């Protein structure tokens, strides 16, 4: 049997966004985690530690390491030479959420000189380019620690030899486009339950809303065209060696139409490695 290729995750992002929770989840998924090892020594360390029996390694890095901040493009490039299957995961959250978390923990921000808010702004500015280098961006603003853990366990407990992993993501355009999306589909042309009083407070996960959204000629034709498209696209991406595909379905608020369509696709696509997440379901 061929040896499983090594997997390497570089876990980084904003302070307070959930790196500790994510690190523990990756450990539970079978990764050996190293927290804030000196950045310039990482490529040499990884080449020594990736060996039979320890093929899944996660490195946790943040702004406390000036060497990492000053050299991360080179560090990431050198790591990718050692382990081609490197995934950079970047965690972020809205500034007001981060401020609330630091207040609740009564902790100083690691880059704060005057205030926690100043530290959050400075860190976001410092890591703009790093965020652009990320393979996966997770916004934890609306996620509890348990939900973040569940997202990562779904992502990495599945055996990687299954090939392309497909993530269906519903979202609301008013909350911003999901930066991790590979394909975006706008379903704002479908019937909107928001304007139906008895459906407004429900979500697309509930049958009356799903029926209202999906049982129209427009929805029938849209889905009849979309399912064959995915039947063509998913195997095509897999043949090209792509390992992650995020399909984003968007409506106005991310509670009704996009959720209903994503749930329908999840039940009708024949993809064993498919996961689904409703990013804005709890937002108003």
Q: What is the set of domains in the chain, with CATH numbers? A: 7-157 (3.40.50.300), 165-278 (no CATH)
Q: For the ranges 64-68, 107-111, 145-149, 278-282, which has the lowest average pLDDT?
A: 107-111
Q: Which tokens in the block code for residue 11?
A: 């876990």
> What are the tens digits of pLDDT across the range 186-210?
999 999 999 999 999 999 999 999 9
Most confident of 54-58, 189-193, 224-228, 263-267: 189-193
Question: DSSP characters for 227-278?
Answer: HHHHHHHHHHHHHTT--EEEEEEEESSSSSHHHHHHHHHHHHS--TT-EEEE
- Please report which confidence band the pLDDT of residue 1 belongs to, taking 50, 70 and 90 as the band edges: very low
Answer whether 155's CB lies under 8 Å from 236's CB: no
Assess whether pLDDT exceeds 60 at residue 6: yes
Assess whether pLDDT exceeds 90 at residue 215: yes
- How big is the chain by its Cα radius of gyration, in Å? 20
Assess whether pLDDT exceeds 70 at residue 159: no
Helix (H, G, I), strand (E, B) or coil at 74: helix
Answer whether 13's CB lies under 8 Å from 88's CB: no
Q: Calculate the average pLDDT of the chain.
A: 84
Assess whether pLDDT exceeds 60 at residue 221: yes
Interatomic CA distance for residues 182 and 46, integer angstroms: 29
Assess whether pLDDT exceeds 70 at residue 30: yes
Instruction: Find the DSSP H helices in 139-247.
Output: 145-156, 197-200, 207-214, 217-239
Rounded to 10°, the helix 95-105/116-126 angle is: 130
Rounded to 10°, the helix 207-214/257-268 angle is: 90
How many residues can be counted in the chain?
A: 284
> What are the tens digits of pLDDT across the range 71-122?
888 888 888 887 877 889 999 999 889 888 887 876 766 666 667 788 888 8
């Amino acid at each position: 049997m061929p040896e499983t290729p090594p997997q390497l995750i570089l876990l980084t992002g904003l302070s307070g966004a959930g790196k500790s929770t994510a690190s523990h989840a990756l450990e539970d998924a079978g990764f050996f985690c190293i927290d804030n090892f000196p950045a310039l020594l990482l490529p040499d360390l990884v080449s020594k530690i990736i060996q039979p029996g320890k093929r899944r390694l996660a490195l946790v890095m943040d702004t406390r390491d000036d060497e990492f901040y000053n050299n991360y493009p080179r560090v990431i490039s050198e790591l990718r030479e050692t382990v081609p299957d490197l995934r950079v995961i970047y965690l972020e959250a809205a500034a007001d959420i981060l401020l609330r978390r630091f207040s609740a923990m009564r902790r100083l921000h690691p880059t704060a000189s005057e205030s926690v808010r100043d530290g959050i702004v400075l860190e976001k500015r410092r890591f703009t380019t790093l965020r652009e280098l990320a393979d996966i961006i997770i916004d934890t603003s609306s996620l509890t620690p348990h939900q973040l853990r569940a997202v990562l366990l779904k992502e990495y407990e599945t055996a990687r030899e299954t090939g392309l992993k497909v993530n269906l993501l519903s979202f609301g355009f008013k909350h911003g486009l999901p930066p991790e999306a590979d394909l975006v589909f706008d379903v704002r042309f479908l019937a909107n339950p928001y304007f139906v009083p008895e459906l407004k407070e429900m979500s697309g996960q509930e049958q009356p809303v799903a029926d209202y959204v999906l049982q129209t000629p427009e929805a029938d034709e849209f889905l009849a065209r979309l399912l064959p498209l995915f039947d063509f696209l998913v195997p095509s991406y897999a043949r090209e060696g792509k390992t992650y595909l995020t399909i984003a379905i968007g409506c106005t608020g991310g509670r009704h139409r996009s959720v209903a369509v994503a749930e329908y696709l999840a039940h009708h696509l024949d993809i064993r490695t498919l996961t689904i997440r409703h990013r804005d379901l709890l937002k108003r």
